[in-house]
Amino acid sequence: MTGDKSSATSQHMDKRRSTFSGKLGYVLAVAGSAVGLGNIWRFPYLAAKYGGGIFLLTYLILMLTFGYALIVSETALGRMTKRSPVGAFQTFGKKMPFKFGGWVNAVIPMLIVPYYSVIGGWVIKYLSEYLRGNTQILARDDYFTGFISDGFGVELWFLAFSLIVVVVLFAGVKHGVERVSKVMMPLLVILAVFVAGYSMTRPGALEGVKYFLIPNFENFSWMTVVAAMGQMFYSLSIAMGILYTYGSYMKKDVDIEKSTTQVEIFDTAIAMLAGLMIIPAVFAFSGGDPDTLQAGPSLMFITIPKVFASMGFGTGAGIMFFLLVLLAALTSAISLAESGVSTFEDQLGIGRHKATILMGVIMILFGSASALGFGVLDFVSVLGMSILDFFDFLTNSLMMPIAALATCLLVTHVAGLNRVIEEVEQSSEFKRKKLYCFFMKYLAPICIVIILLSSIANVFGWITM
């Protein structure tokens, strides 16, 4: 690459922009950012909670339609305007709606990275326990609950994770991290295939495989759609300004349609592998216990240790697994934080160091609240949710739909579908052009209205998550 996304994002917008060197460079960079805790930690627990196969089906449909159209739009707008979101929106107008549209996209990563780092901290903690050989202890039923209610312990691990992120941003050694992660990603896939194979062949696990893969319409609820849509945004890094920025570094000859498809396939394959590791294990080790299926954010930390404790070389597998997840989490967290830093640099006109410090402060403030929310702050409940869950809900179920709506309106009412189509056609034929227009004009706004109304209804307790 002639300066990959990491060096590129750190540059001011008006200097000569670096570009990804080619098609592979672009796909790898986007996939590196897309694959993270969203795939391995978040997807399986949502699938377990919101109906298994029916969640998966809803997710796949949304991804191939709505998600696809949004990725293409964001990337094309980024490449057309050569700006990250705030600038991209302002290219079309300086008034309030444009400012708002850009900012809502830009603020989301700043709100995600703090709580993302809390989960990153949990991963480091588990890695350190495996390194000390505590494989059996980690598999105990109450281990995880005990760990997170010790708020200060969680806080320390969270700070450790955040420190790595901030140091990497300061030192500007993102290339190094990304190079390592390009080697580690394939390893993660191999290990995941192996663990999924092991987990699926445990006695009783088949029920879990069925639960995850075969849609059962009885399990369907509106919240399945809401959760699947939020997850789709999260996992594919849509509706948070990231793809505008990446698009702006993309050369004119990269096929937007094809690279979108490749990123979607890769990202979904990893999420499904994680589902096949975790959900069958819930059935094998907890007999499909409804409480465990509903465990939410803690699911990965409850079932995966049981899998490792039951197998030979469990400690080695545990070390490998949590190390690889840690890397995937770090690269994603770095790209989230980097997006915040470059927004600050560009919009506040401050230097890189100051911008990094500002991002670090935001991470520590919001992240600490999330980390302590299960311990000393466990009396705090926002709309009936823990602080971490609240941040997750706020960004995924409320802000991202609004950001997506802003992008839709920008495309359909301001820039015009034709300009986006022209942009895509600069590099290749736009095969799914008609579908794209249909998705943007009708499907996307409908989906967004559904998700927003359901989220609001959920806040007021009319429906439950």
Q: Tell the smallest beta-carbon distance from residue 31 to ligand PHE (Å).
A: 10
Minimum distance, C-beta of residue 187 to ligand PHE, in the bound complex (Å): 18
Task: Output phi, psi for 385, to 5 deg.
Answer: -120, 155
Rounded Cα gap, residues 445 and 231, in angstroms:
17
Given candidates 27, 228, 336, 400, which one binds ligand PHE under the rule CB under 6 A? 336
Rounded distance between C-alpha atoms, residue 209 and residue 127, angstroms: 27
Question: Residue type at 360?
Answer: G
Q: Residue 284 or residue 325: which is nearer to ligand PHE going by CB?
A: 325
9 lies in the site for ligand PHE, by CB under 6 A: no
Site for ligand PHE in 241-270 (CB under 6 A): 242
Q: Is 240 in the site for ligand PHE (CB under 6 A)?
A: yes
**What angle is formed at CA 133 by the lines to CA 130 and CA 135, rounded to 5 degrees?**
65
Please report, in angstroms and rounded to a whole number, the separation of the first and last CA atoms in the chain: 44
Nearest distance from C-beta of residue 43 to ligand PHE, angstroms: 8
User: Phi and psi dihedrals of 278, rounded to 5?
Assistant: -95, -45
8 A C-beta contact, residue 342 and residue 189: no
Residue 226 token pair:
């809401």
**Shortest CB 324 distance to ligand PHE, Å:** 14
- Residue 412 near residue 440 (C-beta atoms within 8 A): yes
Candidates 29-37, 47-55, 131-139, 342-350; binding stretch for ligand PHE (CB under 6 A): 29-37
- Alpha-carbon Rg for the chain, nearest whole angstrom, is 21
Asked whether position 6 contacts ligand PHE by CB under 6 A, the answer is no
Distances (CA, A) of 330 to 33, 37, 44, 118: 9, 9, 19, 12
Rule CB under 6 A: say whether 237 interacts with ligand PHE. Answer: yes
Told to check if 330 binds ligand PHE by CB under 6 A, we report no
Q: Which residue has the tokens 């989230």?
A: 336
Among 58, 224, 260, 332, binds ligand PHE (CB under 6 A): 332
x-or-dash string of contact with ligand PHE, 438-457, rule CB under 6 A: --------------------
| Candidate list 135, 248, 335, 343; residue touching ligand PHE; CB under 6 A | 335
What the block records as the tokens of 424 is 């895509």
Name the segment binding ligand PHE (CB under 6 A); options: 84-92, 254-262, 329-337, 372-380: 329-337
Output the six-digit token pair for 358.
């500002």
Minimum distance from residue 338 beta carbon to ligand PHE (Å): 9
Residues that bind ligand PHE (CB under 6 A): 33-34, 36-39, 109, 234-235, 237, 240, 242, 332, 335-336
